[in-house]
Amino acid sequence: MANSWYAYLGAGTDPLVPASYRRITVRPSCICGPNICAIYLLGETASVPSTALTSTMIGYISNALTTASPQPTAAGGGVKLFVYLKGGCG
């Protein structure tokens, strides 16, 4: 099954609702900041995510917005990031 990046549409949309995202065909260049940039979903290829976000993804998005850090985080690195942010690192 394929996996896809989805760009967040931004202002006025809820980052926890699948309709707030559109599939993109490139890896995002953003990584950190206070705003959601993109999410990586396993098993998705539709232009809009076809199912509700998993509780794990909701947790990643919530943690990202709270910490302004890409998610998930792990000591020592080497972890696949599923939530990218934008708006500047700092």
**pLDDT attached to residue 77:** 63
Question: Would you give the DSSP letter of residue 54?
Answer: P
Residue closest to 4 by CA, chosen among 29, 28, 23, 30: 23
pLDDT band at 63 (very low <50, low <70, confident <90, very high): very high
SS3 3: coil
% of the chain beyond a pLDDT of 90: 77
**Where along the chain do its domains lie?**
4-86
Tell me, yes or no, if the pTM score tops 0.75.
yes
Please give the structure tokens belonging to residue 58: 């909701």
User: Tokens in use for 44?
Assistant: 């998705």
